[in-house]
Structures are given as C-alpha cells and as structure tokens.
Chains A and B, each alone.
Chain A
Amino acid sequence: DIQMTQSPYTVSASVGDRVTITCRASQSISNWLAWYQQKPGKAPKLLIYKASNVESGVPSRFSGSGSGTEFTLTISSLQPDDFATYYCQQYRRYPLTFGGGTKVEIK
C-alpha cells in the first residue's frame, strides 16, 4: 500500500498568514493526488485534484503543487473560514490512501 505522510500535524496561524501543508507519498504517484478540507461534523470537501487543479468554486487562495512523491497545499492568505482539518489522498493505486490530516488552528 502507498503510505501518505502529512506534515505538520497542526498549524497555528493567524488570519492573513500564508500556510503550507506538505504531503509525502511512500512511492511515486505521479500527480494522482487530491486535497480535502473537513470541518467538524461535516463531510470532506474537495479542494484540489490531480495535484494542482483547483476544484470549481474553491477560492483562489488555495493552490496545490508537486508531483512524484512530494506535494504541497498552500493557502495564500488564511481566512476565518479556512480553520479546519486538511487531508491529502492518493488515487494512483488501490487501496486509495489518505494522509493523517493537518489541523489548521487559530493562533
């Protein structure tokens, strides 16, 4: 199975900060990577697919980059609505696997 490792586990940040979350795959997944945002008690929301494609309706402050085994999700200017947990997911091979999540907290 492909292991996905996210870092950091928690990010403490203020409104307006630039936030970067990293996801590493245990083997190359090309660009078959998605990022999701999840708020407590809610379903995950797709933000980014194929590593760098922003889902329709997602604010432009969210961007994704990377290929192979190293990927990043960047929030260019953190907004109050962005405090949530973020997950990466590989879909290069079954079983589909997720990173452990990164919680973005208010500093």
Chain B
Amino acid sequence: EVQVVESGGGLVQPGRSLRLSCTASGFTFGDYAVTWFRQAAGKGLEWVGVIRSKAYGGTTVFAASVEDRFTISRDDSKSVAYLQMNSLETEDTAVYYCARGVYDSSGYLDTFDIWGQGTVVTVSS
C-alpha cells in the first residue's frame, strides 16, 4: 500500500524544539518531493515547506512564518523525511501533515497526492 505516516508530535514548551518524521512505504521515496502542511484547530490548511527530490537538487523552500526556525531533511535510504522545528511558538500548534509531491515530465510539482493522517503538535507552557 502506498502511504506516508507522520510521527513525533507531542506537547512542547515555547522556545523548545521538536522533530517530526514522515515515513513512506509502497513507492520509491527518492523519486518524489515531500511537502509539509499544517492545520490549526478549526482553521484552514497552511503550507509549511517542501524538500525536492535529489534529482531536482534536494533543496528546500519554506513559508515565511517558519523559514528561520524550521528545516526539512530526507534520508532516501530509509524512506523518511524530517521536519526539524526549532524555537517553537504557540502559533505553531497544529496538526502537521506530510504529503508526497509528484513531478510531471517537465520537472514541475504536479500533484500532492498521498497525505498522512497527521501528527499533533501542541506548543504550550
């Protein structure tokens, strides 16, 4: 079964760090981008960041609200991507989702087709 599963969420104090994992199965992980999204309780969806596949440089792009605090990395040998969240703020409280990013023949991200079930991050003292 093609799937991604997030893990690593929990309760953390403001200013502390947390690392989320996105573990894939059922497909060749290294061929795809990995995108992180989040959703605060009762709110809409927000894009957090993306890591491209190695074929497209393995580079990352982030939302302005997190770009100085969050990083994304990937270990294709383990089919895992990581979202490292530093200097967490109460506004970072949300369900975090990872999603598979599919490239089209021109190298553009075509779809975000497989989403995980999400992991809850609560930032509170």
Question: Would B115 and A95 count as touching, CB distance under 8 A?
Answer: no
How far apart sit A49 and B103, CA to CA, in the bound complex (Å)? 12
Q: Kindly identify which residue among B47, B97, B109, B110 contacts A97, using a CB–CB cutoff of 8 Å.
A: B47
Question: Would A94 and B44 count as touching, CB distance under 8 A?
Answer: no
Segment 34-55 of B: residues with Cβ below 8 Å from A: 35, 37, 44-47, 50
How far apart sit A99 and B44, CA to CA, in the bound complex (Å)? 8
**CB of A87 within 8 A of chain B?**
yes
Residues in chain A near residue B37, CB distance under 8 A: 44
Question: Would B46 and A98 count as touching, CB distance under 8 A?
Answer: yes
How far apart sit A42 and B97, CA to CA, in the bound complex (Å)? 10
Nearest residue in A to B104 (C-beta to C-beta)?
A: A50
Residues in chain B near residue A43, CB distance under 8 A: 97, 115-118
How far apart sit A43 and B64, CA to CA, in the bound complex (Å)? 24
Q: Kindly identify which residue among A42, A46, A99, A100 contacts B112, using a CB–CB cutoff of 8 Å.
A: A46
**CB of A21 within 8 A of chain B?**
no
Given contacts A43-B97, A43-B118, contact A100 B44 (CB under 8 A): yes
Q: Is the interface of A mostly helix, strand, loop or mixed?
A: loop
- How many interface residues does chain B have, given as a range? 20 to 34
How far apart sit A100 and B39, CA to CA, in the bound complex (Å)? 12
How far apart sit A95 and B45, CA to CA, in the bound complex (Å)? 13
How many residues on the A side are at the interface (Cβ–Cβ under 8 A)? 22
**CB of A64 within 8 A of chain B?**
no
Residues in chain B near residue A95, CB distance under 8 A: 47, 61, 63-64
Question: Would B44 and A49 count as touching, CB distance under 8 A?
Answer: no
Question: Would B117 and A98 count as touching, CB distance under 8 A?
Answer: no
Segment 73-106 of A: residues with Cβ below 8 Å from B: 87, 89, 91, 94-101
Q: Kindly identify which residue among B45, B113, B118 contacts A46, using a CB–CB cutoff of 8 Å.
A: B113
Smallest beta-carbon distance A47→chain B, Å:
11
**CB of A39 within 8 A of chain B?**
no
Interface residues, chain B, with chain A CB atoms under 8 Å away: 35, 37, 44-47, 50, 61, 63-64, 97, 109-113, 115-118
Q: Could you list 27 A-B pairs, sorted by A, with CB under 8 Å?
A: A36-B45, A38-B45, A42-B117, A43-B97, A43-B115, A43-B116, A44-B45, A44-B97, A46-B111, A46-B112, A46-B113, A46-B115, A49-B113, A50-B110, A55-B113, A87-B44, A89-B45, A91-B109, A91-B112, A94-B50, A95-B63, A96-B47, A98-B44, A98-B45, A98-B46, A99-B44, A101-B44
